[in-house]
Amino acid sequence: MESFLIKGGVPLHGEVTISGSKNAALPIMAATLLTDEPCVIRGVPDLSDTRFMAQILQSLGAETKFDNGTLTVRAIKIHGYANYELVRKMRGSICIAGPLLARLRKARISLPGGCIIGARPINLHLKGFEVLGAKIKIEGGYVDATAKKLVGSTMFLGGRAGSTVLGTANVMMAATLADGVTVIESAACEPEVVDLAHFLNAMGADISGAGSPTITISGVEKLHGAEHEVIPDRIETATFMIAAAATNGEVTIKNARADHLRAVIDKLNEAGVSIQQHGGNLIVRRGKKLCAADVTTLPYSGFPTDVQAQMMSLLALAPGISIITERIFESRFMHVSELARLGAEIEIEGPSAIVKGGRPLSGAPVMASDLRASAALVIAGLAAKGATQVNRIYHLDRGYEKMDAKLRKLGARIQRVEEK
């Protein structure tokens, strides 16, 4: 296993270019199963998760070619069976269910199970398929979804924590080939859902309202091949913004979408970070001093849960008390005990973490537990005095393209080493 060895205390300076969005690319890749014609997707980040999704498409019968960020998929003849070994490794693979159900009228997919950040049920995905007329059977750890035909209908897709991103994506994809009109109420408004709708419309689907809580899908008979460029990764952008602020540097972030990051920019401003927008570039620098700030994660356009851990690393450096409340995933605080190893003072109280910020951080060996927790530990390590070894960075490689190389270009002293 590999680790990052970081010698901290160096302010980041220079330019970094953001990759295509992982969470937009994954459902778009799944959507290529909806047609037997070739699809070309540009700006696909080279990550273990996107490579894995390509393997899933291949295992279902599709041909894929990945070349320098461009993925070509042709799903001429496919089957609808995805086994445990495939789905277990990446929870995002559940978004093949909608396209398979739409195209083949049947899908047999292993239940994904929970992960370190929470239980992650798929009841809302299944509810949506049922409203469209699918019969769902759960047996032996598998979901069997079958339908003689899918019929458009109106549904409410909100759950305990609000909308569901992949649930909305899955039902939207299933409804593209249904008879009649589907209306999803309480749909997820995330930019990744909008990007998927753009791709589906380019394939010949008829979707309106994506980006709002009401999405309308008028079913069409057939979808065709299409080309698409994936939106920039807003979570990677936020991660580099926070890294620049935490190290007291100044970084120009290229290929950034400020309009996808209003809540993050607003909170960073409140915490004393200056962000200037020049077209697609964001210039991030820390003000005179960092300030404490309270953060609550919410569905879009609220503060994203995928930036909660990184923000915690920054607020650990800000003098005063910050309260960070996690409203999306119940156990997404695994980074707290690891940040404590670097000297951060953080207590967990129910869904909130109370950060007593301003204590200097000092390097230590730490263990990454999930993708965003890993990013938080890297940021803390970059800001800490001395050496930090972040172990198990395979989590990080799932969602950040060449993070170590990008950070080195900004002056960070970070090396990828074999874990001892």
The minimum distance between CB 119 and ligand EPU, in angstroms, equals: 6
Q: How far is CA 129 from the centre of its chain?
A: 23
Contacts of 405 (CB under 8 A, 6+ apart): none
SS3 7: strand
Q: Which letter does DSSP use for residue 61 in this model?
A: T
Site string for ligand EPU, 174-203 (x = CB under 6 A): --------------x---------------
Alpha-carbon distances, residue 396 vs 82, 170, 278, 370 (angstroms): 25, 25, 29, 7
Among 6, 12, 86, 165, binds ligand EPU (CB under 6 A): 165
Residue 399 contacts ligand EPU per CB under 6 A: yes
Residue 18 contacts ligand EPU per CB under 6 A: no
Residue 369 contacts ligand EPU per CB under 6 A: no
Candidate ranges 165-173, 271-279, 282-290, 317-325; the one touching ligand EPU (CB under 6 A): 165-173
Task: Give me the DSSP letters along 349-394.
Answer: ETTEEEEEE-PPPB--EEE--SHHHHHHHHHHHHHSBSEEEEE-TH
Residue 120 contacts ligand EPU per CB under 6 A: yes
- Known catalytic membership, residue 115: yes
The minimum distance between CB 26 and ligand EPU, in angstroms, equals: 5
Among 309, 312, 371, 379, binds ligand EPU (CB under 6 A): 371
Among 121, 211, 213, 343, binds ligand EPU (CB under 6 A): 121
Residue 69 contacts ligand EPU per CB under 6 A: no
Report long-range pairs for 138-142 (Cβ below 8 Å, ≥24 apart): 138/111, 141/84, 141/110, 141/111, 142/108, 142/109, 142/110, 142/111
Distance CA 124, CA 118 (A): 16
Considering beta carbons, is residue 71 or 371 the nearer one to ligand EPU? 371
The minimum distance between CB 129 and ligand EPU, in angstroms, equals: 11
Q: Which tokens sit at 246?
A: 């935490």
The minimum distance between CB 60 and ligand EPU, in angstroms, equals: 18
Supply the Cα-derived Rg of the chain in whole angstroms. Answer: 21
Residue 114 contacts ligand EPU per CB under 6 A: no
Q: Binding residues for ligand EPU, how many (CB under 6 A)?
A: 26
Catalytic residue among 95, 115, 189, 291: 115
Alpha-carbon distances, residue 197 vs 62, 131, 169, 190, 350 (angstroms): 22, 20, 8, 11, 36
Do residues 188 and 163 lie in contact, with contact meaning Cβ atoms separated by under 8 Å?
yes
Residue 26 contacts ligand EPU per CB under 6 A: yes
Task: Give me the DSSP letters along 116-174.
Answer: TTB----HHHHHHHHHTT-EEEEETTEEEEE-S--B--EEE--BTTB--HHHHHHHHHH
Residue 167 contacts ligand EPU per CB under 6 A: yes
Candidate ranges 36-44, 162-170, 212-220, 255-263; the one touching ligand EPU (CB under 6 A): 162-170
Candidate ranges 66-74, 147-155, 158-166, 267-275; the one touching ligand EPU (CB under 6 A): 158-166
Among 329, 333, 381, 384, binds ligand EPU (CB under 6 A): 329
Q: Which residues are marked as active site?
A: 115
**Residues near ligand EPU, by CB under 6 A:** 23, 26, 92, 118-125, 159-161, 164-167, 188, 305-306, 328-329, 371-372, 399
